[in-house]
Each structure stands twice: as C-alpha cells, then as structure tokens.
Amino acid sequence: MKIKADTGRCIGAGMCVLTLPQVFDQSEDDGTVVVLDAEPSADLAPAVNRAVQLCPSGALSVEE
Amino acid sequence: MTEATPRLATYPLTRERAFDPPDELARRRAEAPIQRMTYADGHEGWLVTGYAESRAILADNRFSSRPELLHSPIPQRGEFRREPLTPGFFIRMDPPAHTRYRRLLTGQFTVRRMKTLEPRIQEITESRLDAMEREGAPADLVESFALPIPSLVICELLGVPYEDREKFQRDSAVLLNLDSSIEDVRAAVQDLYSYLHGLVTMKAEEPADDILSGLVAGGELTTEEIGGIGLLLLIAGHETTANMLGLGTFALLTNPDQLAVVRDDPAAVENAVEELLRYLSIVHIGPTRTALEDVEVGGALIRAGESVTMSVGAANRDPERFEGGDALDVTRPAHGHLSFGHGIHQCLGQQLARIEMRIAYPALLRRFPNLRLAVPAREVPLRSNMAIYGVHRLPVLW
C-alpha cells in the first residue's frame, strides 16, 4: 500500500489527520496534508481507506 | 423516469418533529434521491435528498457556488442571494479565487492548532457552568451556555472584542432570519461589515496575536477582504456550534439512555458528537450549487445553468448509508455525515467545532446530573425560520 497526496487539491480540512494522526499531518503554513508514512503497515489499511474516503477534496489516493 | 416524478414547489422548511427534517424530504428521498424541483423564481432545477448523490455533487467542481448563477430554493430573499459578494466571502466563490482565500486560513485551523485551544475552551466552559450554578435554576441554556462558549472562543481566535457581542449577535440574527426583509438583511450585513472593517483597520495600527492581525500582517489581502473574511468567520464560528449545543442538549434530554452514554463514558464522546452532527443536521436549507456544464448524477442529466439544492438532513438520514438513521444512536459509526459539507467548501472550522462540542456536552451533563427541561418539550421554541436550525431558547432546571 502506497499513499499518494495531491497538495494542490488539498483544502486542509484535516479529516485525514483526525482519522489517522500517525500517518497524516498538516503543514503549519497552509494546513495542507503532509504524509508522515507513505507506506504504512497493512493493519492500518482500513483506517487509511477511511481517510481516503473522508477526504473532502479527493486529494488522497492509495496504490496497492 | 426522473422527468415523470411530480415536481415539488420549492424547498420545505417546516419540521413536523423537533429533531427530524421535514417529512416531505424523506418522502421525496424514498421516491427518487434526485428529482426536479421548481424554484421560487420559477426555475426548473433539482432537489437532491440521497446521500451518495449529494456527496458526488459536493465533490464535483463542475458545480458552482457563485451567487450570480444561483436560483433560490425558497421564496425568501431570493433577490438578496444573487447580489454581489462582500469582499473576501470565499464560501460563495469557485476555484481559483476560493483556493487563494482558503489557503491563507487553513493553517490557522489545523487539527493540531485546534487541540492547543483545548485548555482554554475547558476554562471557558467551566466558567460558564460556575456562572449557571451561581445564578441558579431555571436558566435558558442557549443564553447561559450554548451561545457564550463558541462566541467567546471565536472572538478570542479572530481578535474581536467579546464586549461587542450584543451588536454582532443582533446583526447575525437578522441575517439568518429567513423572514427578515431584504432591506433589513442589507443593513445588518453593512453594519457588521463596517464594524469588522473598522476593527481590521485598528489591527493594522495595533496588531495582536489573533487571526485578523495575522491576515493584516501577511500583506496579501486588502482591508476590505479581511473585513469580509472576519464577517464570515465570526458568524460561522458561533451560530453553528451554539445551535448544535442547544439542540443537541435538547435531543439528549429527550433520549435519556443516550444522554447517560455521553455523560458517563468519555471514550464514547468523540463518536457521540459525530452522531449528533449527523442526526441533527442543523444546516436548514441546502446547500445549493449551479451546474457549469451538463453533468450526469445518479441517472439524472443536470444541464448547465440548472441549480441543484441538496438537503443535508435528508442525506444524513438516507437508509442506503445510515441504517435506521432516523434514530439517535451515539454508538453508531457516524463518520462520513455531510453536516460540515463535503468537497472544497467543507467547513473550515470543523475541527474547532468538534473540540468545543467534545468538551461542552460532557462537562454540562457531569456538572448537572439532574439537568432537565423546565417546560414541556413541545413548548421549546424551534428555529424553523432561521438558516441555521436549533432552539431559540432551552429552559432548563437541575
């Protein structure tokens, strides 16, 4: 699993950070997504998928 | 198929029961989650009551938020809704204009920043509870608790003097009241805008550690734009959470088993707040968007120029997404609700609102374990005439 984040699309809503703070953070400057761990362990897959699903701007995607 | 559905003449506002969206919307959702609706000005647009369809439209930038393209789903104030924008009023803009403003603000509302406010929000909450105890029962929970907490918090964040609250609360009540005349709404907007513009001008001379001063120091926006942003954030920052706290407490008092969970189980509070957001859906009308090109959604072809009004309340009760959604169940997985919207306009202050609610509900219920309504439930005045739903007053005893 590899997480891709498009900071150009991101609107800084923070849903990913709220869902999985060990994998996602937000930039201090503009609140856009910072991926802390782009290839998290498989047991985090359900939470990663939920973060992708909750992202309001469609900035997150996962490659298997 | 969709064409043959009987058309709804404008969007229903009357709620038959305090906590449920108008029955008409649930009936329409059962018929077709997206269907034609005649708008107040005669425009043949759309009503969307399904969860998946609402979410798809909100996430699609082929739908615009610009007021000049908008048809009003209710007769009230249709004319005003299409008037030119207050500068900086980015919720009614599309990218790239919207993106520019939002980017200047998102860094101020990150999950981490909002968490640093927790101790101060706890302090404000406790001081309001102390005051309630001192003043004694009965009390109006809206005036003594639900409204002051978010008002104090947003005032401190923005750098707006809380002492001026009577002024901005009066203006924002006129602004949100659907029965206000267009003249009164214009005057209230102008009054609020002049007030904030004046405040921003002062911040340029005497900066402080607050968001408005930060925007001034950033140098990217004009005083007019910062004034407009201040107006938007001030109203959005207190009216919404205030109504969630008032109506949410009313809902919990009406559902004592649910109330007990929020009071007694700290681990349940996070999800309970999401469920209250879902169940209560205080955005009373819309949101409305207008198609910039032809778009197919849920089997319906929305033509360029047609307006689409979603019902957050109906979408959040869609049985396809939330089974048994007409019941309040604070243990249900409620994530994914549309109460903060979806897409690029999703609520900027949602992480602040969550923290305020996570602190305020349990603090209130623990301080007053015998909290109860001071009047019969049917006598609680409901905000059916306001753009943000809730209770006008909530008389309580403890």
Task: Report pTM.
Answer: 0.95
Does position B315 have pLDDT exceeding 50, yes or no? yes
Give the residue from B52, B2, B35 showing the smallest Cα distance to B320: B52
Nearest chain A Cα to B218, which residue? A29
Q: Which of A12, A53, A57 sits opposite B110 (nearest CB)?
A: A12
- Measured CA angle at B286 (ends B283, B292), to 5 deg: 145
Asked if residue B21 has a cis previous peptide bond (ω within 30° of 0), the answer is no
The full 3-state SS of A37-58, as one line of letters, equals CCCCCHHHHHHHHHHHHHCCCC
Owner of token pair 């939330």: B322
Whether the pLDDT of residue B79 is over 90: the answer is: no
Convert the pLDDT of each residue in B170-191 to its tens digit: 999 998 998 898 889 999 999 9
- Strand B44-48 versus strand B63-64 pairing type: unpaired
Interval B356-376: pLDDT, tens: 999 999 999 999 999 999 999
Q: Closest Cα of chain B to A23: distance in Å?
A: 14
Residue B1 pLDDT class (50, 70, 90 cuts): very low
pLDDT value of position B40 = 87
Q: Residue B13: is its pLDDT beyond 70?
A: yes
Among B107, B341, B347, beta carbon nearest to A31: B107
**What share of residues in chain A are helix, strand, coil (percent, to 5)?**
30, 20, 50
Pick from B335, B346, B351: which is nearest to A56 by CB?
B346
* Nearest CA-CA distance, residue B196 and chain A, Å: 24
* pLDDT score of B291 more than 90: yes
Sign of CA dihedral B245, A13, B318, B289: positive
Show residues of chain A in contact with B103, CB under 8 Å.
12, 30-32
Average pLDDT of every residue of chain B: 94
Question: Which has the minimum average pLDDT: B48-62, B169-183, B194-208, B271-285?
Answer: B169-183
> For chain B, what percentages of helix, strand and coil (3-state, to nearest 5) are there?
55, 10, 35
Residue of B nearest to A27 (CA): B107
Which residues of chain B are within 8 Å of residue A50 when distances are taken between CB atoms? 335
Shortest Cα distance from B2 to chain A (angstroms)? Answer: 28
Nearest Cα residue to B364 out of B149, B183, B129:
B129
Residues 13-52 in A contacting B (C-alpha not used; CB under 8 Å): 13-15, 17-19, 21, 25-32, 50
A39 min Cα distance to partner chain B (Å)? 22
Please check the confidence at residue B158 and state whether its pLDDT lies above 90.
yes
Q: What is the pLDDT of residues B259-284, one digit of tens each?
A: 999 999 999 999 999 999 999 999 99
Q: What is the average pLDDT across A18-29?
A: 94
Query: Which residue is associated with the tokens 């005439």?
Result: B385
Residue B4 has pLDDT above 60, yes or no: no
pLDDT at B110 over 90: yes
Chain A residues within 8 A of B106 when measuring between CB atoms? 11-13, 26, 30-32
Q: How confident is the model at residue B90 (pLDDT cuts 50, 70, 90)?
A: very high
Mean pLDDT within B28-41 = 94
B274: left (phi over 0), alpha (psi -120 to 50) or beta: alpha
In this prediction, residues B140-163 reach a mean pLDDT of 96
With H, G, I as helix, E, B as strand and everything else as coil, classify residue B295: strand
pLDDT score for B312: 97
For residue B82, pLDDT over 90 is answered with no
- Inter-chain CB pairs, A–B, below 8 Å: 70
Burial label, A28 (beta-carbon count in 10 A; 0-12, 13-18, 19+): exposed
pLDDT of residue B10: 80
Q: Which of A11, A20, A34 to mutate to test the interface with B (most CBs of B within 10 A)?
A: A11
Residue B3 has pLDDT above 50, yes or no: no
Is residue B9 pLDDT above 70, yes or no? Answer: no
